[in-house]
Structure 1
Amino acid sequence: MDIWLQLEQAERGERRPLEAVLAAIPWNADGLITAIAQQHDSGEVLMLAWMNREALLETLTTERVCYWSRSRQTLWRKGESSGHRQRLIEARLDCDGDALLLQIDQQGPACHTGRPNCFYNAIRDDSVEVISAPL
């Protein structure tokens, strides 16, 4: 039985080995999975990025969030240059394993623009409105 079906049919509290789940993740053609960063205590969605297996394992091991930079083609440890680090509280996979939700503790702004999160462009009627300022 497919691991995602096993998890779907599992009772609360049941577990599956991490390695089996990681092996079943439907990584995209570039070996990546989307990762949504959410502030653990407020629920605010901060950003979306990408992770490869190495970035995910490093994040799980160190509890310091690491992504894959598609533009630089290298691991990107959030806050390495800015100091605005993300500490992992909990990592979750969605029901079919193609997206990660990272519940984190964000230190400083999450967005490279200095804004609290990356979702500051609100689509409203026939325009896009900037709804937050840099901190």
Structure 2
Amino acid sequence: MSERTDREAGSDFMPKFDDKGLLTAVVVDHATQAVLMVGFMDAEALAATRETGLAHFHSRSRGKLWQKGETSGHVLRVERIFVDCDQDALVLSCTPAGPTCHTGAPSCFYRELVGDVLQPVKT
């Protein structure tokens, strides 16, 4: 089998990081499946997440590892990790310990584009 076939059809976890060493991680609420946030993981963040059960990401702005909620206490407990077909993106199904967004909103996706205007998402 080729590496592509192994990655797409095999059972081995073979994360495919981009040229910056990152892969996309979409976080959804384990109970509701609502999208909470999108982050980026490097090998270190992925390993820390798997080891601790708490979501870790690579901060592109700070250039370092960070645990979601490390200062606020609003951690994301990882319940399941889903891997896409070519293993370059993950969905983390998480139980949040408070608001996910740094603004205090439950989700970073609290606005909807309606025409050319951002409107608050109605829950």
Question: TM-score of the superposition, structure 2-length normalised?
Answer: 0.90
CA distance in 2: counterparts of 1:88 and 1:3, whole angstroms: 28
CA deviations over 1:41-69 (Å, ceiling 9, x no partner): 11011000000001001101110111000
Question: For 1:93-113, what per-residue CA distance to the aligned partner results, in whole angstroms no more than 9, with x for missing partners?
Answer: 101111110011111000000
* SS of corresponding position for 2:5: helix
CA contact (8 A) 1:4 1:95 kept: no
Instruction: Report the counterpart of residue 35 of structure 2 in structure 1.
Output: 45
Q: Measure, in 2, the Cα distance between the counterparts of 1:99 and 1:61.
A: 19
1:66-92 deviations in whole A, cap 9, x for unaligned? Answer: 100000111110100011000111111
1:120 deviates by: 1.2
Which residue in the other structure is 1:101 paired with?
91
SS of the aligned residue for 2:19 comes to: coil
Q: Is 1:91 matched with 2:81?
A: yes
Query: Which of 25, 29, 50 is the equivalent residue of 1:60?
Result: 50
User: Which of 75, 82, 98 is the matching residue for 2:65?
Assistant: 75
Equivalent residues of 2:7, 2:87 under 8 A apart = no
Return the index of the structure with the highest Cα Rg. 1
Distance in 1 of aligned mates of 2:50 and 2:2: 24
TM-score normalised per structure 1: 0.83
User: Equivalents in 2 of 1:130, 1:50: separation in Å?
Assistant: 25
Name the structure 2 match of 1:28: 18
Residue type of the alignment partner of 1:33: L
Structure 1, unaligned runs of 5 or more: none
Partner SS for 2:48: helix
For CA contacts below 8 A with separation 6 or more, give which structure has more relative contact order: 2
Count matched residues.
122
Structure 2, unmatched stretches of 5+, are none
Question: Following TM superposition, by how much is the alpha carbon of 1:131 offset from its aligned partner in structure 2, in angstroms?
Answer: 2.5
Q: Percent identity?
A: 39
